[in-house]
Amino acid sequence: MSMILSDANISHPRKVAIIGPECTGKTELSHRLAAYFKTEWVPEYARQYLNKLNRPYERSDLTKIAHGQVRMEDEWARDANKVLICDTNLTVIKVWSEFKYGECDPEIILVMKGRHYDLLLVTDIDIPWEDDPQREHPDKREHFRDVYIKEAQESGVPFAIITGTREQRLKKAVEEIEKILSGS
């Protein structure tokens, strides 16, 4: 199984990836932004994959999840209206792999470098934790927030930290997306 190494030759709308620690409202924000902009949003492939897995996940599963994530992103981009909202990207898989296994599959890193995003939205930890069987570290949210901010800073992609109530988050995210759509 091979991943598309680069999306540079794929005709696509502006792409926004939402990254951040577990349970910080990424999926809800993705859904609401897609509704606001009347466009597509790419769900987190890891959820689907892990729901079907009948064992604890392993390091090699993260590469398979990365394959699924980029495949979905490229497929959904075809039907997007001006902007594609991604409920995660390979940065999340990289961060998780480095935390859990001390390293990330070089293939994931290679593919990450070839993917293009116009904006990263980093969700903050000011939303209460909700238990979920796929969430693992409620005590490490601050650590992960800091890691995601650092990843966003190092990416060279414009980014914004999304904080506040759900309505404040939506308003801030819409403003940031409208900036990239207008070219300002």
- The predicted-structure confidence for 72-110, as pLDDT tens digits, reads as follows 999 999 999 999 999 999 999 999 999 999 999 999 999
138: pLDDT strictly greater than 90: no
Mean pLDDT of 133-147: 79
Tell me the whole-structure pTM to 2 decimals: 0.89
Q: pLDDT by residue (tens digit) across 156-177?
A: 999 999 999 999 999 999 999 9
Position 10 scores a pLDDT of 46
Q: What structural domains does the chain harbor?
A: 14-182 (3.40.50.300)
3-state secondary structure the chain: CCCCCCCCCCCCCEEEEEECCCCCCHHHHHHHHHHHHCCCEECCHHHHHHHHCCCCCCHHHHHHHHHHHHHHHHHHHCCCECEEEECCCHHHHHHHHHHHHCCCCHHHHHHHHHCCCCEEEEECCCCCCCCCCCCCCHHHHHHHHHHHHHHHHHHCCCEEEECCCHHHHHHHHHHHHHHHHHCC
